[in-house]
Chain A
């Protein structure tokens, strides 16, 4: 049973560049959430994708966008990179529950460490 996987593991970019991060959910899961974790802090929700649509978004600018594919994998794109975008980007997968939001167990991938110079 494959867990959540992410690629690449590390990435170095310069200001103004664009980056794409990838995530494959745990086997049997259909929902992907993305989080940003700054050093020494808890993860912060960026957005969640379900049925290839952005279902909910956190307080992140439009420079952050995403996509979900028919096989449930997902991408996170960040345009016009800023120094402050340097962080650990985590993907979490879950299985949508018929009871509605707020009850899904989320499993995290190993993350991508992004450094913006």
Chain B
């Protein structure tokens, strides 16, 4: 069935280092992969997304890569800052479905 697995569940990095979060999906018909950042008690905020006809997308310090063959996609944050600390969720949708299936989340802590 439809499933998105996300790793790691927690990630602690030193300010200025890079952080990488990985997700795998079950259905090869998946075609849209957004990433959301959620601070405590706040709404999930879209930070970047990628569609299946693109292998990589970058927006300043944030990048997402997609490997359709291996059915996984990753979020890369470079030059991390304390304000990057939050829970990050990956998600995927399928070409026959309107819903987003979310991963279980990664709690990122950036140590000053």
Contact = CB atoms under 8 A, between A and B. Distances in A.
Interface of A: 4, 31, 33, 35, 40-45, 48, 50, 55-56, 58, 90, 92, 100-111
A108 B95 contact: no
Q: Is the interface of B mostly helix, strand, loop or mixed?
A: strand
A101 B97 contact: yes
A55 B46 CA distance: 23
Interface residues of B, number: 28
Contacts of B44: 43, 90, 108
Interface string B10-54: 000000000000000000001110101000001111100101000
Given A43-B44, A58-B99, A90-B44, A102 B34 contact: no
B43 A108 contact: yes
Interface of B: 6, 30-32, 34, 36, 42-46, 49, 51, 89, 91, 93-105
Contact of A101 (B45, B51, B95): B95
A42 B98 contact: no
